[in-house]
Amino acid sequence: MYRLGSQKQWIPEKYVKFTSASELKAKNAPAANEEGYSGHVATVVYNGRGGVALVDKNGHYTKQYVSNNSTWKTFGKATINGQVMYRIGGQSQWLPSKYVVIDKSYQNPAGYYQVQYSQIKPTGQVGYTVGRGFEGIKTWLIMRRLGTFNGYAYYNNATYNAVRRFQASHHLPVTGNVDVNTWQKLGFQRSSFYSIDSYVAPLGASKHQGRSAHIEAMIRQAYKYLGKPYIVGASSSPEYGTDCSGLTMQALYAGGINPTSVSSINHAHPGNEWNSRNLWADRRLKTVPYSQRQRGDLIFYYQPGTRTIWHVAIYLGNNQVIESWPPRIMVQPIVNGQRNVIAGVKRPFI
């Protein structure tokens, strides 16, 4: 027996093979013509069955395989048995270049929204004062705090007057608008006045992943809101609810699309009540036939009896969508009794 560690770690001699220091050094030595090639990403592109076999620095197969579309950091490059190879690990992990695309990045065609790979920053001023005509989470919280919430988060005259009374009784400037000082007096954290506005979903896919990864990042973000309440004008963190276009915006941000016809920061402002219409009119989102709908597409709906867009949902496949529709964010059939007149389909990831 040979002890490998403590007195509880002995291994039988029959299962042991000794390697001398010189043999170990030779095994780990670089390939004969290896050059440094770090900082790159190799994407496996292979249409056959199974995976791509790796070889060692001498060109011998190692019974290790990598799967199609997997991505690997590269550490070296060499010509082995007449083939260019990339090292993705140790000296027994060389990948033939004929099955590799280096630094491949997924991108939409020109003319459509380009996929971004740095954190998206929507337009708008973070920490805005709330007043008449505003919607969104701040309005929702203010109305609930003052007892004026009637199921719809719209900063109405009743809320305006209630804010004035509150300000007068707390020795604040009587404006009827909620700035950060009134917000704090209402019992909310000062920091939340800014954080509610500033939330942007983090990117959920890298540049070296393909279309499917970006679609799944979008859908994963949407699922984070599942069960949260429908809040008109809201598009913030999964801590709160959203409305239909607010959910879509944050989901698109996670996938790497910044639709500049809308903004999560401005979504609560007057004039942004129907951002689903702006998304529908945006030519930088590709229109596709309903019969060709795919997972990750956006489904738009007409208000019954009109040709006015009033709703957008994210298509999951199998005739299911995830959407924000009163009273909550939920998974529903693509057509149901509440909204059933489909206007068309837009495809963010092409």
Q: Contact 57/92 with Cβ under 8 angstroms?
A: yes
Alpha helical stretches, state H, 147-224: 157-169, 180-185, 192-198, 211-223
The span from the CA of 263 to the CA of 285, in Å, is 15
As to burial, measured by CB atoms within 10 angstroms (0-12 exposed, 13-18 middle, 19+ buried), residue 177 is middle
Picking from 275, 287, 282, the residue whose alpha carbon sits closest to that of residue 311 is 275
SS3 content of the chain, % helix, strand, coil (to 5): 25, 25, 50
Residue type at position 168 = A
Sign of the alpha-carbon dihedral angle for 325, 327, 328, 331? negative
Q: Contact 54/64 with Cβ under 8 angstroms?
A: yes
Picking from 116, 112, 284, 265, the residue whose alpha carbon sits closest to that of residue 203 is 116
CATH 2.30.30: which residues of the chain?
A: 15-102
List CB contacts of 336: < 8 A, sequence separation 6 or more.
Answer: none
Q: Contact 153/139 with Cβ under 8 angstroms?
A: yes
Confidence at residue 320, expressed as pLDDT on a 0 to 100 scale: 98
The span from the CA of 323 to the CA of 243, in Å, is 8
Query: Mean of the pLDDT values across residues 225-252?
Result: 98
| pLDDT tens sequence across 310-350 | 999 999 999 999 999 999 999 999 999 889 999 999 999 99
Under CATH, domain 203-347 is a member of which superfamily? endopeptidase domain like (from Nostoc punctiforme) (3.90.1720.10)
The span from the CA of 319 to the CA of 339, in Å, is 14
Helix (H, G, I), strand (E, B) or coil at 141: helix
Confidence at residue 56, expressed as pLDDT on a 0 to 100 scale: 95
Q: Distances in Å between the alpha carbon of 236 and those of 108, 142, 261?
A: 26, 16, 17
- Bridge-based pairing of strands 71-73 and 10-11 is unpaired
| pLDDT tens sequence across 21-80 | 666 565 667 788 999 999 888 989 888 888 999 999 999 999 999 998 888 999 999 999
- Architecture label for domain 15-102: Roll (2.30)
Q: Which two tokens stand for residue 127?
A: 């920490």
CATH 3.90.1720.10: which residues of the chain?
A: 203-347
Considering only residues 251 and 30, tell me which one the structure prediction assigns the higher pLDDT.
251
Sign of the alpha-carbon dihedral angle for 172, 176, 182, 186? positive
Answer yes or no: is pLDDT of 201 > 70: yes
**pLDDT > 90 fraction of the chain, expressed in percent and rounded:** 84
What is the CB neighbour count within 10 angstroms for residue 61? Answer: 11
Considering only residues 17 and 9, tell me which one the structure prediction assigns the higher pLDDT.
9
Q: Contact 185/170 with Cβ under 8 angstroms?
A: yes
| pLDDT tens sequence across 169-188 | 999 999 999 999 999 999 99
Answer yes or no: is pLDDT of 141 > 90: yes
